C-alpha cells in the first residue's frame, strides 16, 4: 500500500475527496493543519490492479477519438468540349469521364456537319479540318 497525502484549503473540498477515497475502497485520515485540511490515504493492493483496467479503457477511447478524419477520395476529373460558339457540344450527355470518351463524342458530333462540309458558327463558316483547333478542350 502506497501512502498518499493531499492538503485542501477548503473543508468542503476535503470532505468530498475523503468520500471519494472511501468509495474506491481506500483508507484515509483527515487532520486540520495550518492553511487547510491534510488527508493521508492509501488503497489496498487488490484495488490497484482493478484501477489499471479503467485506465486502459480511457486510453482506448482517447485514441479512438484522436483518429484522423477519413480522407475524401479525390474528385474524379470530368471533361468537355466547348464549340467555337461557346456552348458545350454535349446534347443530353453527362460530362465525359475520360479524354478518350470526349474524343469519341467529338468525332460523332463532327459527323453531323459532313454533309454540308463545314461548321456554321456565329462568326462564319469553319472548315471541318479546322474545327478541332477552334473548339476548347476543357477539364471540369
Cα-only R_g, the chain: 39
Whether 136 shows a pLDDT value over 60: the answer reads yes
Say how many domains are in the chain. 2
Residue 16 belongs to a domain: yes
What range defines the domain where residue 83 resides?
79-139
Torsion, CA 110, CA 111, CA 117, CA 122, rounded to 10: -40
What pLDDT, on the 0 to 100 scale, is given for residue 47?
Answer: 44
What is d(CA 84, CA 37) in angstroms, rounded to the nearest whole number? 88
Regarding predicted confidence, which is higher, 73 or 6? 6
Stated length of the chain = 140
Average pLDDT across the chain, whole number: 85
Q: Which long-range contacts (CB under 8 A, 24 or more apart) does 23-31 make?
A: none
Burial string for 9-27 (b: 16+ CB within 10 Å, else e) reads eeeeebeebbeebeeeebe
What the block records as the C-alpha cell of 40 is 493521508
Q: Which of 16, 36, 52 is the last residue of a domain?
A: 52
pTM: 0.48
**Same domain, residue pair 36 and 86:** no
Distance of alpha carbon 33 from alpha carbon 39, whole angstroms: 10
Domain membership of residue 99 (yes or no) is yes
Cβ contact 44:1 at 8 Å:
yes
pLDDT at residue 48 in the model: 46
Predicted confidence at residue 108, as pLDDT, reads: 95
Q: Classify residue 47: in a domain, yes or no.
A: yes
Domain assignment present for residue 71? The answer is no
- The model's pLDDT over 55-108, given as tens digits with 9 standing for 90+, comes to 556 555 555 566 667 777 788 899 999 999 999 999 899 999 999 999 999 999
Per-residue pLDDT for 113 more than 80?
yes
Tell me: the pLDDT tens digits for 11-67? 898 899 989 988 988 889 888 888 889 999 988 886 445 555 555 565 555 555 666
In the predicted structure, residue 137 carries a pLDDT above the cut 70: yes
65 occurs within a structural domain: no
Is 101 part of any domain?
yes
Amino acid at each position: 500500500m502506497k501512502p498518499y497525502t493531499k492538503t485542501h484549503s477548503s473543508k468542503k473540498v476535503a470532505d468530498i475527496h475523503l468520500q471519494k477515497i472511501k468509495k474506491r475502497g481506500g483508507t484515509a485520515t483527515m487532520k486540520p493543519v495550518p492553511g487547510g485540511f491534510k488527508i493521508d490515504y492509501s488503497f489496498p493492493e487488490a484495488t490497484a490492479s482493478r484501477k489499471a483496467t479503467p485506465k486502459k479503457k480511457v486510453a482506448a477511447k482517447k485514441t479512438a477519438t484522436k483518429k484522423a478524419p477519413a480522407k475524401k477520395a479525390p474528385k474524379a476529373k470530368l471533361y468537355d468540349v466547348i464549340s467555337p460558339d461557346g456552348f458545350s457540344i454535349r446534347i443530353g450527355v453527362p460530362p465525359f469521364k475520360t479524354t478518350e470518351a470526349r474524343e469519341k463524342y467529338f468525332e460523332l458530333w463532327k459527323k453531323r456537319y459532313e454533309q454540308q462540309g463545314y461548321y456554321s458558327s456565329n462568326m462564319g463558316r469553319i472548315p471541318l479540318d479546322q474545327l478541332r483547333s477552334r473548339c476548347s478542350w476543357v477539364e471540369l
